[in-house]
Amino acid sequence: MTDPKIPSRVPYVLDCKPGTYAWCSCGMSKKQPYCDGSHAGTSFVPKIETITEAKKVAWCGCKHAKTKPFCDGSHSKLPK
């Protein structure tokens, strides 16, 4: 597997508390947008992100953003 799966063509917009989050980069996690270890055996690894204050976060759902793990609108340019 060289390209990530696309679990969502829109971002996961969530209220996040301060803490450390492991964003799924492979697209196979059943706990999107977070990693559940489904990448095992692939070249993918989760992107670890630290949130320092409570805020709303737009996590990339298509796994193709250039600003991983955050949405940059790349989902609108993906082929249907």
pLDDT given at position 22: 98
Enter the tokens of residue 26. Answer: 């492979």
Express each pLDDT in 45-66 by its tens digit: 999 999 999 999 999 999 999 9
Residue 55 lies in a domain: yes
Give the total residue count for the chain: 80
Label residue 10 by pLDDT band (50, 70, 90): very high
CA–CA distance, 76 with 8 (Å, rounded to integer): 11
**Tally of domains in the chain:** 1
Supply the mean pLDDT for the chain. Answer: 97
Label residue 41 by pLDDT band (50, 70, 90): very high
The SS3 call for residue 77 is: helix
Residue 37 lies in a domain: yes
- Segment 13-41 shows an average pLDDT of 98
Residue 5 lies in a domain: no
Domain enclosing residue 16, as ranges: 12-67
